[in-house]
Amino acid sequence: MLFGQTLTRGVLIRRYKRFLADIRLDDGTEITAHVANPGAMTGTSDPGLEVWLSRSDNPARKLAWSWELCRVDGHLVGVNTAHANRVAAEAVAAGAIGELAGYDGLRREVPYGERSRIDLLLESPGRPICYVEVKNVHLKRGDRAEFPDAVTARGTRHLGELRRMVADGHRAVMLFVVQRGDCRSFRPAADIDPAYAAALAAAAGDGVEAICYTCRMSLEGIVVDGRLPLFLT
């Protein structure tokens, strides 16, 4: 996934009201940017962090600036959760995720279950339909990537719907996309959301596949890189 523009550098002043951040650009201008991230952003929203922004020319937007990346301990980290689905879709189409290779068709945001939309729906003649739920990951503790960084009842509900797809004879995959390249493994953040961690373990026991891939981050774009070992406990 390419940003399609040259990102602008700044320094984070503060993040507040979940979706807003005040940032000082290198030329001294202070702006307010949109933060496409509803989570706690632990370790990625400390005042003083180097951040990188994109700018929209759409006059209908209330905020022209969007916060895309920050730099933590010398590593770029993606904070825009809206990119995870696109990054995953491009990786699947390119055959970069071996577990999801070989399907003829890929559709995004397809309604399913009671009131959900599956992020990626993969189809091929003679193969079970594959339902892929994508979750963005940016939390790092120790050398591990972890999800979630805040309680996610919605995420727990999605795992239940994936379990039902398996029960109906389909294939279901929980794909964690880590928008950083400095982690060695992945595990659920059970201390932050024990219900989600338990639901993930139960889903895996019922046949939902859980996989995790890290990303190669740059100021030009975000590309799926390699698989991370995943531990459910």
pLDDT, residue 184, reads: 97
Taking Cα atoms as reference points, which of 107, 147, 148 lies closest to residue 124?
107
Res 115: pLDDT:
79
8-78 and 81-227 in the same fold: no
Write down the pLDDT at residue 198.
98
Domains of the chain by residue range: 8-78, 81-227
Dihedral angle over CA of 20, 26, 30, 33, nearest 10: -20
**Options 3.90.190.20, 3.20.20.80, 3.40.50.970, 3.40.1350.60; which CATH number does 81-227 get?**
3.40.1350.60
Give the chain's count of helices (H) and strands (E). Answer: 3, 15
DSSP letters, 92-149, are HHTT-SGGG-S-SEEEEEEEETTTEEEEEEEE-TTS--EEEEEEEE-EEETTEEEE-S
Instruction: Report the chain (233 residues): mean pLDDT per 10 consecutive residues.
Output: 97 97 98 96 97 95 97 97 97 97 96 89 96 98 97 95 97 98 98 98 98 98 97 89
**What is 8-78's CATH number?**
2.40.50.580
